[in-house]
Chain A
Amino acid sequence: MVLERRFEFPLTISSSARSVLGMRAVREMTGLCSLFGMDETGVQAALAGVARVTAPEENPVRVI
């Protein structure tokens, strides 16, 4: 989490659900992720961050 806050790399979280019983609500994910220091805003951004990981808006390498 320290590295993520410092370098702001895209982060995503998943429940690895293979059925409806494995799925978790946002509130439950927030509670679980709060155990390792992620706040609600970070959880919502991480849950919505799959698109940022798979299709980043900008190139990972910046040309100077």
Chain B
Amino acid sequence: MAVRPPTLREKRRYVLARIDPDGVQVDPKDLYYAMYEAVVSLFGDLVAAAMQPSVIGIESGCALFRCRRGTERELMIALSTLGACREIPVALRILAVSGTVESLRERIAAFQEKVHAEPAPAEGPLPGYDDASPLPPGPESPAADGAALTEPEYQFGGAPVAIVARRGHKVDVIEKGFKNTRRLYLTTEDLEILHATTIPDGI
């Protein structure tokens, strides 16, 4: 079957949405079922059939959706009602709408650059955190000998955790160890409280 020229093809619109929380693994097929369920429950089968929504893919924590031109507003409204994907609580934040996938991929690249432009966890202290090291270097401290400053130890629920990502007021930590590892999500305020309670000479 011959491919139609672009002027004769059916017009589509592509929606770019960020998947919250960061790092959650969502299968595109499960996301399609969740999205279609949201569209059908909100607008009904008739609109869903006219909309022809689909999931193009998931790239770098962002989901690409496709629908017919003129129905992108309904698709975005339906996506804002989506709260879980295969019993995993997720939220979709609409970033952009475009007529081509390529332009959305450029937006993904720009979004990733913006995310990576933020300071890495080991580069600087937390907001409201006065120094890079919670313990002042004493005479017996390795920092006093010129050694590099290490990331302070944090604990959550009695278990040591390490910072995975830090974006804005949200800090993702993962429990240290090779068994029963679970991902936790903390805010900066939580981390400050933990830091104040776990460090002996804290606040």
Contacts and interface: CB of A to CB of B under 8 A. Distances in A.
Interface of A: 19-25, 27-28, 31-32, 34-35
B89 A21 contact: yes
Contact of B77 (A19, A21, A23, A35): A35
Interface of B: 20-21, 42, 73, 76-77, 80-81, 83, 89-91, 93-94, 170
B83 A21 contact: yes
Contacts of B170: 20
DSSP class of A's interface residues: helix, strand, loop or mixed?
helix
DSSP class of B's interface residues: helix, strand, loop or mixed?
mixed
B73 A31 contact: yes
Contact of B21 (A21, A22, A31): A21
Contacts of A27: 94
Contact of A21 (B42, B73, B91): B91
B20 A31 contact: no
Contacts of A24: 80
A24 to B, nearest CB: 6
Given A21-B90, A21-B91, A27-B94, A32 B20 contact: no
A28 B90 contact: no
A28 B83 contact: no
A50 B33 CA distance: 36
Nearest to A31: B77
A34 B76 CA distance: 12
B34 to A, nearest CB: 13
A19 B91 CA distance: 11
A32 B77 contact: yes
Given A21-B90, A28-B76, 15 more contacts: A20-B20, A20-B21, A20-B91, A21-B20, A21-B21, A21-B91, A24-B80, A25-B93, A28-B77, A28-B80, A31-B77, A31-B80, A32-B77, A32-B80, A35-B42
